[in-house]
Structure 1
């Protein structure tokens, strides 16, 4: 069997597996059984004449041949979809950019950037989706998004070790802060001493973000009173007096009433770097416009400052 015999369905299934990271998650997203997904992958591997996936206990990983196929498959599928839209009489999508972003970026940064972009470049359409860093990186490599907003903590390692390396543009670096109830003793000053964080009740994230919300480097086992993936839920729990959590400076202007956001002193500076990531190669004009709008919004946001370059 030659690779030219590969079906479009198999290519779509393979791209979904590459993005989701497991056969089970891809099957659920597509509405297929796991055995049906496995059959499509097997047919594609026969056509390619080489293994495309490395099966591991925690999911699957693309082989070198798999990386070639997923990169090419993304282009083929996009062209087929564009043809279908054109035949259906829908406008072309030369100005469409697919953007992925981490949860708290949707609170202020993404809406601010999209509002400015709509004024300056109304012909550009941006389709967005929220996701964890691993999911967004897989989506970039699978070709289902064009840009990803990623947050990184020191030592600011690349988000994955696959090749080719992603292109990472630093938008800003921002200080980590703590959000405390307005009636909490810690809220009386203009900053929090790191020693005063000992013995506090913390509101943390869940899933991929399990440790988010607790101050990094505490020399004690933190007491986690509540967990929530949604940043707004965490901040409302803070406002109600159920604990404290960490936030970046960019959220200062959008916290609910009853919350104070304060810097922490007396320990190492905790920084968070904001990246916009894409696959290597020439960037489409529309994608570059979106990246520029994100950088402008990040720099203009509360508490942010421009640092570094690409």
Structure 2
């Protein structure tokens, strides 16, 4: 068999598996059974004459052959969808861009950038979705996103190790902050000392005790530089819930600097001195190659929004 024998359904299923990272998640997204997804992948592997997925206990990873097929599958599916729109008499969508973003970027940066873009280029349509870094990176490679805002923590490794390497631009680099109830004794000053954070009660994202959150910033909780096991009093994924708990005096939580402008009343956001610097980068990632004009306009709007927020580092390209 040859890859030309592959069905469009198999290509769509393969793209979904590559994006979701597991057969189960792909089956759920497509409304298929897992066995049906497995059969489609097996048929595609027979057509390709090679294994396309490395099946592991925590999901799947693309093999070198799988990465080649994914690039082709994404292009084929996009072309077929464009043809279907043309046959249906629907307009093409040259001015549409698909953007992914991690949680805290959607609280302030993304809305400001989209408002600015709408004012200057109203014909451009932007469709967005939130997700953790691994999901957004897979979506870029599957061709279901053109651009993705990612978070990165030291030692600032690339978003993934697949080839070709993603094009990554650092929009900003800022230190983490701590959100404190306005009535808390620690809220009286203009900054916190890391020693002040010992023995505090913390509000954390699910599955995070002391993590500072590299890409999915909802996982932030206790200050990452603490030299003690923190007391996690509350766990919440949603930023609004976490900050509302802080305002209610239920504890402290670590926040990215970009949330400083959108905290609710009753919360102070303060920098921390002492101990190692807890820096985080805001990245804009895409697949290598030329961008559409619409994507380039959106990328520029995101860059300008990051600069306007007073970020401390000028944009630099990451190898």
Shorter-chain TM range is over 0.9
Q: What does residue 182 of structure 2 align with? A: 182
**C-alpha deviation, 1:85, in angstroms:** 1.7
Verify the 8 A CA contact 1:8 1:77 in the aligned structure 2.
yes
Q: What does residue 231 of structure 2 align with? A: 223
Q: What does residue 290 of structure 1 align with? A: 298
Report which stretch shifted further, 79-88 or 231-240. Answer: 79-88
What CA distance in whole angstroms lies between the structure 2 residues aligned with 1:226 and 1:274?
27
Q: Which runs of 4+ in 1 moved over 6 A?
A: none
**1:202-217 correspondence runs (5 A):** 202-207=202-207, 211-217=219-225
What CA distance in whole angstroms lies between the structure 2 residues aligned with 1:121 and 1:197?
46
**1:142-153 correspondence runs (5 A):** 142-153=142-153
Determine helix, strand or coil for the equivalent of 1:114. Answer: helix
In the TM superposition, what whole-angstrom CA distance separates every residue of 1:182-229 from its partner, at most 9, and x where no partner exists?
011110111111100000111111256675122112100011111111
Q: What does residue 68 of structure 2 align with? A: 68
What CA distance in whole angstroms lies between the structure 2 residues aligned with 1:88 and 1:127?
22
Matched, 1:23 2:45: no
Q: What does residue 316 of structure 2 align with? A: 309
Determine helix, strand or coil for the equivalent of 2:83. Answer: helix
What CA distance in whole angstroms lies between the structure 1 residues aligned with 2:157 and 2:42?
34
In the TM superposition, what whole-angstrom CA distance separates every residue of 1:115-135 from its partner, at most 9, and x where no partner exists?
001111111111100000011
Verify the 8 A CA contact 1:99 1:146 in the aligned structure 2.
yes
Determine helix, strand or coil for the equivalent of 1:94. Answer: coil
Verify the 8 A CA contact 2:104 2:218 in the aligned structure 1.
no
Q: What does residue 93 of structure 1 align with? A: 93
What CA distance in whole angstroms lies between the structure 1 residues aligned with 2:313 and 2:296?
18
Determine helix, strand or coil for the equivalent of 2:80. Answer: helix
What CA distance in whole angstroms lies between the structure 1 residues aligned with 2:252 and 2:139?
33
Determine helix, strand or coil for the equivalent of 2:284. Answer: strand
**C-alpha deviation, 1:167, in angstroms:** 0.7
Matched, 1:45 2:53: no
Verify the 8 A CA contact 2:103 2:217 in the aligned structure 1.
no
Determine helix, strand or coil for the equivalent of 2:137. Answer: helix
Q: What does residue 264 of structure 2 align with? A: 256
**C-alpha deviation, 1:3, in angstroms:** 1.2
Question: What is the root-mean-square deviation in Å for CA atoms of aligned residues?
Answer: 1.2
User: TM-score, normalization: structure 1?
Assistant: 0.97
Matched, 1:121 2:121: yes
Verify the 8 A CA contact 2:174 2:313 in the aligned structure 1.
no
Verify the 8 A CA contact 2:169 2:315 in the aligned structure 1.
no
**C-alpha deviation, 1:32, in angstroms:** 0.3
Determine helix, strand or coil for the equivalent of 1:190. Answer: coil
Q: What does residue 236 of structure 1 align with? A: 244
User: TM-score, normalization: structure 2?
Assistant: 0.94
In the TM superposition, what whole-angstrom CA distance separates every residue of 1:45-65 from its partner, at most 9, and x where no partner exists?
010010000111111110001
What CA distance in whole angstroms lies between the structure 2 residues aligned with 1:104 and 1:67?
30
Query: Which structure 2 segments of 5+ residues have no match?
Result: 208-215
What CA distance in whole angstroms lies between the structure 2 residues aligned with 1:9 and 1:60?
19
**C-alpha deviation, 1:88, in angstroms:** 2.1
Q: What does residue 212 of structure 2 align with? A: none
The count of corresponding residues between Structure 1 and Structure 2 is: 309
Report which stretch shifted further, 261-270 or 17-26. Answer: 261-270
Verify the 8 A CA contact 1:209 1:229 in the aligned structure 2.
no
Query: Which structure 1 segments of 5+ residues have no match?
Result: none
